[in-house]
Amino acid sequence: MTNLAFILAAYSITLGALAAYGMLVWSRLRLAEHQIAMMAPPQEGGYGQR
Amino acid sequence: MAGLRTIYLLLAKDLLTELRNRETFTVMLFFAVVVLFLFHFSLHPEGGDTKLVAPGLLWLAVMFTGVLGLGRSFQAERENDCLEQLLLLPGDRGNVYLGKLAGNTVFMLAVELLIIPLFGLFFALDLWGPLLPLLAVALLGTVGFAAIGTLFSALTANLRAREVLFPLLLFPLVVPVMIATVTATSTVLNGGTLAEAGSWLKLLGAFDTIFLVVAYLGFELLVEQ
Amino acid sequence: MIGRVLANGLGVIALLAVLAGLYLAFFYAPPDALMGDVQRIMYIHVPTAWVAFFAFFVVFVASLLYLGKRWPEADRLASASAEIGVLFTALTLIAGSIWGKPTWGTWWTWDARLTTTALLLVIYVGYLMLRSFVDESERRARLAALVGIVGFIDVPLIYVSVLWFRTLHQPPSLGTGGSKMHEAMLFTLLFNVGAYTLVYLFLLVKRVRLESLRAISEMLAVEKVRHD
C-alpha cells in the first residue's frame, strides 16, 4: 500500500525536525553555559539567574 | 481641538511639500503606469480572461505603488530629525499618525484617480457606468491599506533593509483588505449593484475600522519612550 | 538547579506522551471509513497546527506584556515562541501537504485553513527577520512586539476574508466532513494534541533559557571589557 509511504513521510519528517530542533537548542545551551562558566566565577547555577 | 489642528497641519505640510517638488507623486504615478504595462505584456494580449483578472491586476499595481509611496512617508522626517519634534507637539501622539495617514491616503487616491482611467483603457473596460461604486471601493480599500501601511512605515523607518522589510511585513497583513477590495471591484465591474457588492464593502469597512484602531494604538506604543 | 530538573522532567514526560500518542495513532484508533489508514496523519498534523497557533498566541500575549511592563523576559518569551511557532507551522504545512496528495489528489489547495496557515508562516518569518535586523535590544523588543500583536490580530481577519472568497469561487467540497468522530479517534486526537503541546512547552522552556544565557553572556562580556 503506497499510502504507507505518505504516512511514514509525514510522521518521520515532523518528528525528525522536532528532534533536530531540540538537539540544536540543547547543543547551543551547552555552548552558552560553557562560555559563561569561562567568563564568570562559578555560582549556584540553574534557573532563576538574572 | 488641538488634535484636529495637528492632523490638519501635518496633512497640509505633506501636501505642500509634495506640490513644491512633486517627487513622490510623480514616481508613484509612473511606476504604476509601468506596472500596468508589464501586466499587459505578461498576459495573453487578446484573451478574454484578462477581464476576469483585471480587478486583481489593478489593485496589485496600486499596492506595489502604494508601498513605494508609503515607504517614503517618514523619510523626510527622518532626514531632518523632524519626527522627534513632531512628537513633542502637545496632545496625543496618535494625531501624528492620523496626519500621516491622511497624507498617505490622499497621495494614493490621487494616483488611483489617474491610474483607474488608464486601467480602463488598457483592459478595454467600461468604467463610466460603475464609476461611483468603483470610487467607493477605491476609497475604502486605500484607507485600509494606508492604515496599516503608515504604522509599518514608521516602524521600519530607521532600519537597514527597510525597502525589503517593509513590503515583506506589510503584504501578508493587508491580504484581507486586498481580497475584499478586489472582489468588490470585480462585482461592481461585472454589472453588480452597490448592494450586491454591499456585503464585501461592509466587510471591507469592518477591516478598515479594525486596522485603524489597531494601527492608531500601535503607533502610540511605537513612539512611546 | 531545581528549574533544570523540572524542565528535563517535562521533556521526559513529553517524550513518553509522544510515544504513547504514536501507539494510539497507529494501533488504537480505527482506520477511517473513507480514507483508510492515511487518515492517521491527522494525529500529528492537527496537533502541530494547534501548537502553531497556540505558539503565536503566546507571542501575542508576551508582546503585550512587554509593551505594558517592559520586562526583557517577556521579549525573550516572544522571540522563543515565535521561532518554535514557525517550526510547527512549517511542519503543519508539510504534513498537511503530504496528507493532501493521497486524499484530495493534490499537494496544495487554497482552502481557507491552509491559506491562513501559510500566511501565518510568512507573517512570523517576517517577525523573525525584523528581529534580526535590529541590534539594540530595547528597540528590537518594541518593534517586534508591535508586529507580534498586529500579526496575531490579523490572522482571524485573513481567515474570514479567504473563507468568504472561497465560498464565492468554489463551493465547499474539501471539508473534513460534518460526520461525528469515532470516540477512539477523538481520544487519540486529543491525547496527541496534549502530547505535542508538552513538546512545545519543553522546547519553549529550553529556548527561553538559551536567550537568557545569551543575555547574561553579553552582559558579562561587556563587564569584562570594562574591567580590563
pLDDT tens digit string along C76-103?
Answer: 999 999 999 999 999 999 999 999 888 8
C183 phi-psi bin (left φ>0, alpha ψ -120 to 50, beta other): alpha
Rounded to an integer, the average pLDDT of C109-114 is: 87
Helix (H, G, I), strand (E, B) or coil at C32: strand
How many domains does one find in chain A? 1
Q: Which residue has the higher pLDDT, C123 or B100?
A: C123
Helix (H, G, I), strand (E, B) or coil at C30: coil
Rounded to an integer, the average pLDDT of C98-113 is: 88
> pLDDT digit string (tens) for B163-207?
899 999 999 999 999 999 999 998 888 877 667 778 889 999 999
pLDDT at B21 over 80: no
CA distance B45 to B67: 27
In this prediction, residue B18 carries a pLDDT of 77
Domain that holds residue A23: 9-35
Q: Is residue A46 part of a domain?
A: no
Contact C147 B155 (CB under 8 A): yes
Q: Is residue A40 part of a domain?
A: no
Rounded to an integer, the average pLDDT of C161-187 is: 71
Q: Is residue A19 part of a domain?
A: yes
Q: What are phi and psi of C82, to 5 degrees?
A: -65, -45
pLDDT bracket for residue C171 (50, 70, 90): low
Kindly report which listed range (B96-100, C134-138, C147-151, C221-225) carries the lowest average pLDDT score. Answer: C221-225
Average pLDDT of chain C, as a whole number: 90
Please state, for a pLDDT cut of 70, what percent of chain A lies above it.
Answer: 74
Q: Are B and C touching by the rule of 3+ CB pairs within 8 Å?
A: yes
pLDDT at A42 over 60: no
Q: Is residue A41 part of a domain?
A: no
Interface probe, candidates C5, C200, C213, chain A, greatest A C-beta count within 10 A: C213
Nearest residue to B180 (alpha-carbon basis) of C118, C168, C174, C151: C168
Question: Tell me, what DSSP letter sits at residue B43?
Answer: S
pLDDT bracket for residue C174 (50, 70, 90): very low
Rounded to an integer, the average pLDDT of B18-46 is: 82
Q: What are phi and psi of C116, to 5 degrees?
A: -60, -40
CA distance B109 to B138: 8
The domain limits of chain B are: 2-223
CA-CA distances (angstroms) from residue B22 to B15, B25, B105, C211? Answer: 9, 6, 16, 48
Interchain contact C94–A (C-beta under 8 A) = yes
Rounded to an integer, the average pLDDT of B143-157 is: 94
pLDDT at C128 over 80: yes
Q: Which residue has the higher pLDDT, C30 or C46?
A: C46
In this prediction, residue B80 carries a pLDDT of 66
Contacts of B51 (CB under 8 A, 6+ apart): B123, B125
Rounded to an integer, the average pLDDT of C134-153 is: 94
- B163 neighbors B71 (Cβ within 8 angstroms): yes
Contact B169 C153 (CB under 8 A): no
pLDDT bracket for residue A20 (50, 70, 90): very high
- The ipTM assigned to this model is 0.88
In this prediction, residue B128 carries a pLDDT of 79
Rounded to an integer, the average pLDDT of C192-206 is: 96
CA distance B11 to C182: 61
- B76 neighbors B82 (Cβ within 8 angstroms): yes
pLDDT bracket for residue A43 (50, 70, 90): low
Interchain contact C215–A (C-beta under 8 A) = no
Contact A29 C213 (CB under 8 A): yes
Q: Is residue A17 part of a domain?
A: yes
In this prediction, residue B213 carries a pLDDT of 96
Contact A40 C220 (CB under 8 A): yes
pLDDT at B216 over 90: yes
- Nearest CB to A11 within list C44, C84, C213: C44
Interchain contact C14–A (C-beta under 8 A) = no
Q: Which residue has the higher pLDDT, B88 or C214?
A: C214
Question: Tell me, what DSSP letter sits at residue C40?
Answer: G
Residue of B nearest to C151 (CA): B173
Residue type at B7? I
Residue of C nearest to B180 (CA): C161
CA distance C96 to C42: 8
Contact A35 C207 (CB under 8 A): no
pLDDT at B3 over 90: no
In this prediction, residue B81 carries a pLDDT of 67
pLDDT bracket for residue C173 (50, 70, 90): very low
CA-CA distances (angstroms) from residue B193 to B117, B197, C148? Answer: 20, 6, 39
Q: Is residue A48 part of a domain?
A: no
Distance of CA B148 to the CA centre of its chain: 9
Question: Tell me, what DSSP letter sits at residue A46?
Answer: S
- Copy the grid coordinates of residue A45: 547555577
